[in-house]
Structure 1
Amino acid sequence: MNRLLNALFKGIEVLISIALAVMILLVFTNVILRFIFDTGFAWSEEVARICFIYLVYLGSIEAMRDNRHLLIDSVIIRLPSTAQKLLYTLIQVLIIWLMTALTAGSYGLMLQNYHNKWVATGLPVWLVYLAGFIMGISILLLAAGNIFKLWIMKHTVKDLITPQDEGASTLE
């Protein structure tokens, strides 16, 4: 199961890299075309925008998995063990609640924009909201997994809030 999850997240990293490369290539090419040839690709702005949206949303999934999202742990690590568990659980429950709202909202916007198309590319608009839907479900599952690890698998809060690959690239 762990190998499957690692492969899934490696795929997300590849998609992030592809989105970044496409976005950089299209924007750079369009800038060159506009300044030198006084022309450009109208569709490249839309594709770059979609790539940026997916880059951010998929990056948020990666950040949640690696515990690199915004977390102020200076308070939580000073609490007694039971209070740490309760506060961490509350944080994860809030994340689940917010991601449920985001997922429902994204799904509603996907349905609302099902027949709409982007002007220059003709791509369906719902693809943009699909990114929010995917991110919402993914982070919701990761937060539920964190609660499972804390209470069922008996991990410590410190283990859960420490980035997984910490120390891999330290500056000294």
Structure 2
Amino acid sequence: MRMLEKWFEPVVIVTMLGAIIVLVFADVIARFAFSTSIAVANELARFCFVYMIYFGVSYAIRERRHMRVTAVLDLLPEALRRWVFALAELVFLVYSVMVCWLGVVITQQAFERGKILSSTEWPLGVLYAAIILSGALSSARLVHSLWRVVMRGDTRLGPQLDI
């Protein structure tokens, strides 16, 4: 489980990036060498890009490298910094849970309406499922971060050294 927890997002992100490079390269070669386009390649590259971005969000949360303004936080005494940091993580957790929930609603509506992607003919809900996965992973990562702040007082930014 530790290996899965540590390497899941990076493996997905690198795999998706590799797939994007191969798909776009193949489409460029097809356009210039054969004067045609690979429609499936464009759609799959877009699909991979969406999943790569959404998994990148949860990975940034895990590594505590997502964007945040720390000017006020840096000025606070250590005891108060801990609780302000925890409040910020809690607000972000509520946001992530809402994103996950709305992702479920959007994905469900896409499946119910029978919308499909044009080239692959996959249900559009498969693409929207990235929102659910990202929201759930982000929420789990934020719960862990909140636990670290409240229980240990860990307000360090940057990569998590403990897993």
Same fold (TM over 0.5): yes
The percentage of aligned residue pairs carrying the same residue is: 24
Gaps of 5+ in 2: none
Structure-1 residue corresponding to 2:18: 21
Gaps of 5+ in 1: 166-172
Structure-2 residue corresponding to 1:116: 115
Q: Which structure has the higher relative contact order (CA within 8 Å, separation 6+)?
A: 2
Structure-1 residue corresponding to 2:158: 162
The 10-residue stretch of structure 1 (47-56 or 68-77) with the greater mean CA deviation from structure 2 = 68-77
Of Structure 1 and Structure 2, the greater helix share is in: 2
SS of alignment partner, residue 16 of structure 2: helix
CA drift of 1:50 comes to 0.4
Structure-2 residue corresponding to 1:30: 27
Report the AA paired with residue 150 of structure 1.
V
Report the TM-score when normalising by structure 1: 0.85
2:13·2:56 contact (CA, 8 Å) conserved in 1? Answer: yes
Q: Distance in 2 between matches of 1:110 and 1:79?
A: 42
2:86·2:150 contact (CA, 8 Å) conserved in 1? Answer: no
Match of 1:47 among 44, 48, 63: 44
CA drift of 1:7 comes to 2.2
Report the AA paired with residue 142 of structure 1.
R
Q: For the aligned residues, what is the CA RMSD?
A: 1.5
CA drift of 1:98 comes to 1.0
Give structure 1 regions of 4+ aligned residues with deviation exceeding 3 angstroms. Answer: none
SS of alignment partner, residue 128 of structure 1: helix
Closer/same/farther in 2, CA of residues 5 and 129 from structure 1, 3 Å limit: farther
